[in-house]
Structure 1
């Protein structure tokens, strides 16, 4: 009989989970601040994306280009995730996150908000953990006309890379 397979050291597992959390948080921060080069750096070269029924990507360039072109300076986004469920298996991992998001397009008096569950895959690379697949399944999505809220005002903050 061969040697028994040993579980990864607890410290390494904790470090891996923390690194995966950090890459997910960086993905969201750079998406919301439109820091596109840093956003791209969170993604594996062969990343795939699936954001519902009609929005999927098979390359990193497709995903990044879509975000850049769709979320321009006039669009304010807020993405928050919590309740991570991360499972590490060697140099691969999966993660499930609860998402709450908001999109404000003041020029069109439009706001969307909703919730979803992200389902991600991660891969350890020479540069650290990267997202190799991402996407979510919505639990709900709601929209409102900002004309219905005459006192609503938006002032973008300095953190946006505009």
Structure 2
């Protein structure tokens, strides 16, 4: 295998690890580590919810994804293209997510396609833009599910 192929495969693996860290830190509410996945000028676009920079994106998540919200974000089926010379990459991911807020008897399940841009920095790959377009959402009340119980274990 050529050095170029190996470098491209290494970059793809690093970008996968970055995206997995992004969703893990989101779900575990590790906001400093979540922010570290993003460039200061990162933009975000989540199905009509737009952010101009990392500061506003992280502040929104920190405020709205409080301890009463339990979430699950899984990304898979990555399609990653790397430009080694430019130190940039693009990625497309399939998202499956679930959000539960017990005090509001609320559950949301959905899926979407993420589209990301990445930049290689001296500290490794970082997200320059992230966002998704929904393919579906299902909202339900746990009041309609009489046996529904939520048990949460600390993750950090």
TM-score tier (shorter): over 0.9
* Distance of 1:85 and 1:8 partners within structure 2: 21
SS state at 1:9 partner: helix
In the alignment, structure 1 residue 62 sits paired with structure 2 residue 56: yes
Query: Structure 1 CA distance, aligned partners of 2:136 and 2:3?
Result: 38
Q: Which has the larger radius of gyration?
A: 1
**Unpaired runs of 5+ in structure 1?**
1-6
Q: Are 1:21 and 2:16 an aligned pair?
A: yes
Selected match of 2:145 from 138, 142, 149 = 149
Question: TM-score with structure 1 length normalisation?
Answer: 0.92
CA RMSD of aligned residues (A): 1.1
Deviations 1:110-141 (A, max 9, x none): 00000000000000001100000000000001
Superimposed CA distance per residue, residues 19-77 of structure 1 (whole angstroms, 9 cap, x where no aligned partner)? 00000000000000000100000001110000012x10001000000000000000001
1:104 paired to 2:100: yes
Q: Which residue of 1 aligns with 2:33?
A: 38
TM-score norm. by structure 2 comes to: 0.96
Equivalences for residues 87-126 of structure 1 within 5 A: 87-90=81-84, 91-126=87-122
What's the counterpart of residue 3 of structure 1?
none
State yes or no: 1:81 paired with 2:75: yes
TM superposition shift of 1:156: 1.3
